[in-house]
Structure 1
Amino acid sequence: MIPRLFAIIPCAGTGSRAGSLIPKQYRTIAGRNLLYYSLIAFDACPEFTQILLVLSPDDIHFDPSHLGALRYAVKRCGGEIRRKSVYNGLIKLAEFGARASDWVLVHDAARPGITPRLIRTLIAAVQDDPVGGIVAIPVIDTLKRVNAQQGSEISNKVTALRISSTEPRDYLWQAQTPQMFRIGILREALAQAPVRSYPLTDEACILESLGYKPLIVRGSARNFKVTYPEDFELAEAFLTYRAAS
């Protein structure tokens, strides 16, 4: 059987670093909530069998009227951490006929710069790979490391830290989403993730910890993640410009 395409957009996070009273995916940006921009890009790709939003079971902010007639399904199976939300979403995809050999693209609800073109670029580049891959961009900034004690204290309130070293940036890439993997491989890797000590910060990292080597596909600086309060202003300016152009 020809592998099919599915998408999971985890929406169970609280976005605590964004300094918002509501989860950041529901903040209004350029007239729409943040989630809308991720969802509309996938909705524009009819090749997806199903697009699944994974919400927290106690989410009181989700309002389908803000998403119009976009194509998606909702499951309130989100976990307290991202990888549990993704794992639960993968389990729920079986209800839509998803098989282990099918593909799933996992995308952050807080990356409003995603486009159908970038989604299709990733699909075309990795669809013949046995594992999958991600979009990412080369690191261009100089990287500074602080000591371990300072690093553990970093928060929005910290204004100055002492540099302990400068790190080489050669061959370093900044991971983005979507991240595209075989459903079965990702599901099995996530099932093992909670008992592993490796810092599992994205889906690719989880597979890497088990010995897999995902591909990297060139992403876009516009596909940035809204994380901190100032990022909302940047997203507002970018999305307003894109709508007007």
Structure 2
Amino acid sequence: MLGYTLAAFDACSEFSQTLVVLAPDDHHFDARRFAGLRFAVQRKGGASRQASVYNGLVALREFGARDDDWVLVHDAARPGITPELIRKLVTEVRDDPVGGILALPVADTLKRVAPSMPDAPSSGPRVARTESRDGLWQAQTPQMFRVGMLREAIERARHDGHDLTDEASAIEWLGHSPKLVQGSLRNFKVTYPEDFGLASAILTASA
């Protein structure tokens, strides 16, 4: 999955650097598997996504990044990312004062899970109510923000005791409204075991 991700960013020559943030004790990564692709590695991953992203932002200073430079944060678990999607995000966000993310309008009906029912305590989750999907979008990555703004946002959230699940949430914590740029279904996050087969089918078909 990481190879497909790195190849997509490598195809975008407008980026000066791609930084892979790994856990300090990661023993699986082998840079030789990605020979020919442009990237650097920092073994500064933290206990959470928020911590890993923050450490990566700090590490970017070593590569000459300034606070007003743009940074794109991407999950390697989304190997369906393409150069076209990356460039679409960059084109639509580069003149925005806040930044933005790839995302998709929610298409499925949403159900709120009920607490355990007294009359059926062991029967599995049950529906409490249907939630409106109007105005709801499903966040994807990359998420694109200024280095300094994102670092400050994560620092503020961490100071306030909040461990946020994506970069846009941190920017929202500062009171800003990131821009939404329509992404693609192929850019889904590989989460469950059956997702690997789907990702393989998509990536093989487009190879």
The alignment's TM-score, normalised by the length of structure 1, stands at 0.80
Q: Answer yes or no: is the 8 Å Cα contact 1:132–1:181 preserved in 2.
A: yes
- How does 1:221-232 map onto structure 2 within 5 Å? 221-232=185-196
Equivalent residue number for residue 75 of structure 2: 108
Structure 1 residues 162 and 78: alpha-carbon distance in aligned structure 2, compared to 1, 3 A threshold: same
Give the aligned residue type for 1:230.
Answer: E
Runs of 5+ consecutive residues of structure 1 not aligned to the other structure? 1-33, 151-157
Other-structure match for 1:25: none
Letter paired with 1:101: D
User: Cα distance, 1:242 vs. partner?
Assistant: 1.2
- With over 3 angstroms needed to count, the CA separation of the structure-2 counterparts of 1:78 and 1:219, relative to structure 1, is same
User: How do 1:160-239 and structure 2 match up within 5 A?
Assistant: 160-198=124-162, 200-239=164-203
**Structure 1 residue 120 corresponds to structure 2 residue 87:** yes
Amino acid at match of 1:242: S
Output the amino acid matched with 2:47: E
CA distance in 2, matches of 1:165, 1:138: 20
How many equivalent residue pairs? 203
Distance in 2 (alpha carbons) for counterparts of 1:187 and 1:74: 19
Which stretch of the first structure deviates more once superposed, 179-188 or 198-207? Answer: 198-207
Which residues of structure 2 form unaligned runs of 5+?
A: none
2:103 to 127, 136, 145: 136
CA–CA distance in structure 2, aligned partners of residues 231 and 183 of structure 1: 32
CA distance, structure 1, for counterparts of residue 27 and residue 163 of structure 2: 30
Do 1:198 and 1:209's aligned partners in 2 also have CA atoms closer than 8 Å? no
Aligned-partner Cα distance in 1 for 2:168–2:73: 10
Per the normalisation by structure 2, the TM-score is 0.94
Letter of the 1:220 counterpart? S
What letter matches 1:139 in structure 2? Answer: V
Match of 1:36, SS state, is: helix
Q: Over residues 18-69 of structure 1, what are the superposed CA-to-partner deviations in whole Å (9 max), with x where a residue is unaligned?
A: xxxxxxxxxxxxxxxx111111100000110111000000000001121121
Distance 2:124 2:198 in 1: 23
- Per-residue CA deviation, residues 127-171 of structure 1 (Å, 9 max, x unaligned), is 011110000011000000113569xxxxxxx99411101000011
Distance, in Å, in 2 between the alignment partners of 1:159 and 1:234 is 30
SS state of the match for residue 105, structure 1? strand
Q: 1:119 to 1:226 in 2, by over 3 A?
A: same
Once superposed, what is the RMSD of the aligned Cα atoms?
1.7
Equivalent position amino acid for 2:90 in 1: I
CA contact (8 A) 2:23 2:43 kept: yes
- Identity among equivalent positions (%) equals 63
CA distance in 2, matches of 1:148, 1:212: 34
Q: Which runs of 4+ in 1 moved over 6 A?
A: none
Structure 1 counterpart SS, 2:6: helix
Q: CA deviation at 1:195?
A: 3.3
Classify the secondary structure of the residue corresponding to 1:50: coil
2:42 is aligned with what amino acid?
A: K
